Copies of this chain bind each other. A is one copy, B any other.
Amino acid sequence: MQILILGAAGMVGRKLTERLVKEGRLGGDAITRLVLHDVVEPERPQASFAIDTLNSDFSIPGEAAKLVASRPDVIFHLAAIVSGEAEADFDKGYRINLDGTRFLFDAVRTIGDGYKPRLVFTSSIAVFGAPFPEAIGDEFFLTPLTSYGAQKAMGELLLADYTRRGFFDGVGIRLPTICVRPGKPNKAASGFFSSIIREPLNGQDTVLPVSTDVRHAHASPRSAVNFLVHAATIDTSKIGPRRNLTMPSVSVTVGEQIDALRRVAGEGAVARIRHELDPNIIRFVEGWPRRFDANRAESLGFRAEASFDEIISIYIEDELGGVVPA
């Protein structure tokens, strides 16, 4: 089995690569070749099978065709300009997130000749825009309030239509906020959801810019990889024509996140969080979803964590070697 990952240098792409390298298989099949692609050349891990690394701008006409010419059996399309940048640079966001996605899909389509790979596309809860109900169900409409969200929603429509036409076998998965993100604090407005856990666990101070009443939906990086692997191996005849699925998540308030941190790492960790409201971030967060009823995905076997305690435990296992800092 040949696999192609676009966006392989990103956090989720690297974790997916680690998982595939470790298992050597996807579903029932041994991996024979893995192609890692990104706009910057991804790292090439050691593996029991062939790994190629490639860098190019897949939104340049002709580039996507090169990526799929070897007819990978499974394509993970994780490549995207993130929300903030797509908002700041309108042309670049549409070029990468819409044109790039369409070039990729068309590159697969125009191979023809019976080629019909599984194609897993990461969408985002940014396809939803406020106001929405307390819990967003599987039939709620998409009204993105960012260009990134609009581009992801268009990618979903393309994926469903190309799948319906038989050009590939697509599954779109709407990722919730991934928490706890490893690495350094970033400037994303949503960064605090991870920072208030990660920094205290690493013995550093951090700032909470919103009320502890703020509720949001999370899944761990490990769950994100589980979603991708499940989407790549599921019997898609069970999904039907509605190929884009809201993934399961853990809905908690910031206060509940902090309570979980206290249970896992003690009062000393919690004391690292300084509460300092930021009106800009508060305004952003008011437009974000609070909870999802991801019934379709759950009935199809997608699973997230059962609690935020579990999300913290996974961070400690996967990023801190299983050791809760003193």
- Chain A positions near chain B (C-beta within 8 angstroms): 90, 129, 138-145, 147, 150, 153-154, 157-158, 160-161, 164-165, 241-242
Contacts and interface: CB of A to CB of B under 8 A. Distances in A.
B90 A145 contact: no
A242 B139 CA distance: 17
23 contacts: A90-B165, A129-B241, A138-B141, A139-B140, A139-B141, A140-B141, A141-B142, A142-B157, A143-B160, A143-B241, A143-B242, A144-B160, A144-B161, A145-B164, A147-B161, A150-B157, A150-B158, A150-B161, A153-B157, A154-B154, A154-B157, A154-B158, A157-B157
A161 B151 CA distance: 9
The list of the 6 closest CB pairs from A to B, nearest first, reads A150-B161, A141-B141, A150-B157, A154-B154, A139-B141, A143-B242
Contacts of A143: 160, 241-242
A138 B140 CA distance: 10
Given A150-B158, A154-B157, 18 more contacts: A138-B141, A139-B140, A139-B141, A141-B141, A142-B142, A142-B157, A143-B160, A143-B241, A143-B242, A144-B157, A144-B160, A144-B161, A147-B161, A150-B160, A150-B161, A154-B154, A154-B158, A157-B157
Contacts of A153: 157
Contacts of A142: 141-142, 157
A160 B142 CA distance: 11
